[in-house]
Structure 1
């Protein structure tokens, strides 16, 4: 068994959190239009966008390398503005036995935060932690925020 862990980060955003939640819960295919240098495509392979149990295929660039991920939409919680994706195939599973990404919009007093969490199990103790994936998520968040602020 490898090392299990969880990374979390909260990013304060100036745009409305409902827009952000809607993107990842029911319109993830629109993310590639907003941040095309990072995410190149998002397609449904089984089910439909916005439905738990669906399988989504992503094309993206991480650290200058073209990558793919097939994700199972494990949960969409409208009340708590949370979406949970489990990677079932793709480049990340070369380094990790399991990899789950959670994105949640958290309303605060005058601002909104986007919380990203990554739950993982490393294949090897000496392998890298998924900090570069977390940096990628923060960059995508900033791209989405900038897109909606200029609109």
Structure 2
């Protein structure tokens, strides 16, 4: 069993993939209003929302525990409607040497699909793959979708 891994999930998104991309790019601080049970806060630590190199601090709940993640925005791709975040400090680094989360939005005909990809390197063999974090990403996507479908 290796220490590096990659997990992905794809979710149909009914309230417009452009909207999803814009929320994470320019308004991640609003996500706590859309999904307060998962995200309690998102603060800009350095830079500007919507720019590569910006540093964002997330306060979130995972597996019933309050957690913190400081992330740098590694890349933004307008064409692929994607954003990649890399964790640089926080609770996840107690288990993982590296941890990145990327989403991108694809449109197939009338259907928008949000794909989350988690890439990581475990600190030790006995660390579990972050399946519950992938599930949290799916749930967060559904909360944002519901917020926009039922304002």
Distance 1:137 1:55 in 2: 19
Q: Secondary structure at the match of 2:109?
A: coil
Q: CA RMSD in A?
A: 0.8
Distance 2:50 2:146 in 1: 24
Q: Which runs of 5+ in 1 are unaligned?
A: none
Deviations 1:4-23 (A, max 9, x none): 11101100111111110001
Q: How many angstroms does 1:109 deviate by?
A: 1.5
Q: How many angstroms does 1:25 deviate by?
A: 1.1
What is residue 83 of structure 2 aligned with on the other side? Answer: 83
Aligned residues: 150
- TM-score normalised to structure 2 length: 0.97
Q: How many angstroms does 1:113 deviate by?
A: 0.5
- TM-score normalised to structure 1 length: 0.97
Distance 1:108 1:116 in 2: 17
What is residue 18 of structure 1 aligned with on the other side? Answer: 18
> Runs (4+) of structure 1 moved beyond 6 Å?
none
Q: How many angstroms does 1:76 deviate by?
A: 0.8
What is residue 52 of structure 2 aligned with on the other side? Answer: 52
Tell me whether 1:129 sits opposite 2:129 in the alignment. yes
